Amino acid sequence: MDHFEYRNGILHAEDVPLTRIAAEVGTPVYVYSRATLTRHARVFRDALAGLDPLICYAVKANGNQAVLKLLAAEGYGADVVSAGEMKRALAAGIPAGKIVFSGVAKTDAEIRAALEAGILQFNVESDAELDAIEQVAAAMGVTARVSLRINPDVDAGTHAKITTGKADNKFGIAWDRAIDVYAHARRLPHVEATGIDLHIGSQLSKLEPFEAAFTRTVELIRRLKAEGHPIRHLDLGGGLGIPYSDETPPAPQAYAEMVHRVTGDLDLKLIFEPGRVIVGNAGLMLSEVVYVKETASKRFLILDAGMNDLMRPALYDAYHEVVAVTEPAAGAARAPVEIVGPVCESTDVFARERPMPPVARGDLVAFRSAGAYGATMSNTYNARELVPEVLVDGDRYAVIRPRQTVDELIAMDRVPDWI
């Protein structure tokens, strides 16, 4: 469920017509619905309530301060993958004790900053990282709390570029090395390994891969406890999918029931890292048709939004529903079009042979389900300004990230005085 619907022939975000935002802010622009965001956060939180969880929102999905502040108010922590994301979370009021630090390439400076901040734990992805954390913690005279991210070698059944739990992925510690690495961690005087972490991928539409990975991990926990390791928490990661098209991902309540069935007798603190399932359907990207181009074999809708503004289709063939902001007439004929952007790359294609109603130059279209991995992945390729973001609340809206100007972009460069 979201709060984007047609009213009087115009697509609205809650009570605000998207035509108004386009006229006042310009396009392309990301538009988020506060009502949808908070509803999704509460549904996920309430589904897990019986498990007494710590829910650490994956900041990489959408790290805008307004989004993080709303989630902090709902009691969420943060899953971060860089010192920059950690600082974003802290600035938004998320307590350090609710922050977990993931990622495969934590630098010494990032480890130091996280220890100084007092985060809950590092999710460790390799032996080398474990040793680096030991060295930094020793130099600071502190003990670092860690969970080891164990790769359960389970195929999540998603696109290859968003799968993270197979043996040949860069993430995590190999399953057959888990016992040895925990033994190594126990020998390190400035590391306390009290948890286990896993994350098998993103946009999962079935519970079976989750259950297979969680069940295998529970078996490992029992063995670790039997060998005297003080395992007190289990981080189950994120990955629950959303409906971009005709997918029917499991509801949070069904997910929670499966987790309880698999982990119910372990007496562990459970940590979850949702991202997309919270913000994905809470946002859309609004764009204007610049040209309609006809060729002998195709019809192109050329938009003012490009792959630099929404990378997902170019990066891993992701699907986004594209709708006209002005509601098509009932029974309007649809014809296949190529929906493309202005970036000087052949991969700047949002959709191929997509059936669309008649759309003309100057018309507005909206990319639905763009709240996750849209703005956070945007960039300035072709010297295009970073796209702005807007948050709607009822009949009002605010610009929560202004559009970058080309002058600001150029001002970031520094020309040596010897040129």
Binding-site residues: 239, 273-276, 312, 316, 345, 373
Furthest C-alpha separation in the chain: 71
Q: What is the dihedral of CA 113, 118, 124, 130, to 10 degrees?
A: 70
Binding residues for pyridoxal 5'-phosphate: 239, 273-276, 373
Q: Are 338 and 328 within 8 A, CB to CB?
A: no
Structure tokens at 296: 């002998």
> Could you give phi then psi for residue 60, rounded to 5 degrees?
-60, -25
User: What is the spatial distance between Cα 404 and Cα 375, in angstroms, rounded to a whole number?
Assistant: 13
User: What is the spatial distance between Cα 239 and Cα 367, in angstroms, rounded to a whole number?
Assistant: 21
Binding residues for substrate: 276, 312, 316, 345, 373
Q: Are 209 and 198 within 8 A, CB to CB?
A: no
**Could you tell me the CA-to-CA distances from 259 to 49, 115, 126 in Å, in that order?**
12, 31, 26
User: What is the spatial distance between Cα 50 and Cα 59, in angstroms, rounded to a whole number?
Assistant: 24
User: What is the spatial distance between Cα 60 and Cα 397, in angstroms, rounded to a whole number?
Assistant: 23
To which residue do tokens 């005297």 refer? 228
Give the residues across from 336 on adjacent strands. Answer: 355
Cis before residue 28, ω within 30 degrees of 0? yes
Structure tokens at 196: 């286990």
Whether 56 is a known active-site residue: answer no
Report residue 241 CA to chain centroid gap: 11
Among the listed residues 160, 330, 333, 344, the single catalytic one is 344
Q: Are 40 and 71 within 8 A, CB to CB?
A: no
367 by DSSP, 3-state: which? strand
> Could you give phi then psi for residue 338, rounded to 5 degrees?
-95, 120
Instruction: Just list the catalytic residues.
Output: 344
